[in-house]
Amino acid sequence: MNMARNTENLLDLRLSDLEAYFVSIGAKPFNARQAYKWIWQKDVLDVDEMTDLPKTLRQTLKENNTLQEPSLGEIQRSKDGTTKLQVVLQDGQAVECVLIPESQRNTLCISSQVGCAVGCRFCYTAGMGFSRNLTVSEIVGQYRLASRYAAEPWGRIDNVVMMGMGEPLYNLEAVVDACDILMDTNALGLGARKVTVSTSGVAPKIPELIERSRVGLAVSLNATTDEQRTKIMPINRKWNIAQLVEQLQKIPKPRRKRVFLEYVMLGGINDTMADAKRLLSIARRTGAKVNLIRFNPHPKADFLSPEEENVLQFQKFLVDNGVGAWLRKSRGQDIHAACGMLGKADKVR
């Protein structure tokens, strides 16, 4: 086990870390598997209810550990069903996650940090600044809270995207462990194709994510020249488009099927056919598919939404030239829950 891990809150631990911790306190690895199932599959957080654990072990856990998850704050439901949940953390700060029920599936968009340090010009979250990283239990805790909330009206959450607040690759350790718990069949059991992590382009961390986790990857490209991209995403000064392309090309072929380029269309800025041509070339070179997102307007950014005609033409051009390209629906705009709109309720206390 990585000894740097804090073992106090059992909800921060993957199965292998829980096993190592249990062994270190004189318990058996299979006791860890039992506890793990209580926590993640039976939704039990009271050690006394974990009836198959030896009494002495239960006592030790009660004395030395917590089973702490965040709590549910304010809930807002959009007219389209999209529901924004405020998730209140132990220290009184809060993040948001967004539940998107659809006929075929239920998607949950979760956050990885309180605020964000990247400062993209079009993103509402950027205006909050950065406060801190989320822990494993705070990341997966969003899924726990949202699952309970969704169960009755919509059923199981089968798809998770880490596209809420924060830059996941700046919190890689916790993100990798959280994804492990989401996908582990002994825990939440989501298929690897059902979990996607989105990055604004922390190029040097991409190989590490790919190596350490089976998740899908989305890269927020958002522009096709460095000049354009630097203007809207200051992170491009650190890692430019060529560096991103290079890292994506290193991803083993089978994994590249689950690599997406996210492209926020800003009216009059990056929505021309010249952009479409350059995007086509980047998609071809990386083997990635494209998700087009219409800019969601908000008071902190003075960009315009693209003309619908441009959006459709842009998409058609990519598809006609053999690159998979989808138009992401902007849901939950009325409750500030659509892409790039999170962050209203950053503090509750």
Among 114, 118, 248, 301, binds ligand SF4 (CB under 6 A): 118
Among 133, 196, 296, 310, binds ligand SAH (CB under 6 A): 296
Alpha carbons 241 and 243: distance in angstroms, whole number: 5
- Angle between the 15-24 and 29-40 helix axes, to the nearest 10 degrees? 130
Distances in Å between the Cα of 336 and the Cα atoms of 99, 119, 128, 196, 345 are: 13, 18, 14, 22, 11
Kindly state whether residue 126 participates in binding ligand SF4, applying the rule CB under 6 A.
Answer: yes
Longest dimension (CA), the chain: 68
Q: Are 199 and 247 in contact (CB under 8 A)?
A: no
Paired with 12 in beta bridges are: none
Count of other CB atoms within 10 angstroms of residue 55: 9
What, of ligand SAH, ligand SF4, none, does residue 35 touch, CB below 5 to 8 Å by kind? Answer: none
Among 120, 150, 197, 215, binds ligand SF4 (CB under 6 A): 120
109 is catalytic: no
Among 86, 220, 286, 315, binds ligand SAH (CB under 6 A): 220
3-state helix, strand, coil in the chain (%, to 5): 40, 20, 40
Site string for ligand SAH, 132-171 (x = CB under 6 A): -------------------------------x---x----
Among 177, 262, 275, 346, binds ligand SAH (CB under 6 A): 262
What, of ligand SAH, ligand SF4, none, does residue 295 touch, CB below 5 to 8 Å by kind? Answer: ligand SAH
**How many residues comprise the chain?**
349
Distances in Å between the Cα of 136 and the Cα atoms of 19, 38, 184, 279 are: 17, 17, 14, 35
User: What DSSP letter does each residue of 229-241 carry, written as one string?
Assistant: HHHH-GGGGTS-H
Shortest distance, position 339 Cβ to ligand SF4, whole Å = 8
Count of other CB atoms within 10 angstroms of residue 150: 19
96 is catalytic: yes
Residue nearest to ligand SAH (CB): 340
Among 209, 288, 293, 335, binds ligand SAH (CB under 6 A): 293
What, of ligand SF4, ligand SAH, none, does residue 100 touch, CB below 5 to 8 Å by kind? Answer: none
Site string for ligand SAH, 264-283 (x = CB under 6 A): x-------------------
Which residues are identified as catalytic?
A: 96, 339
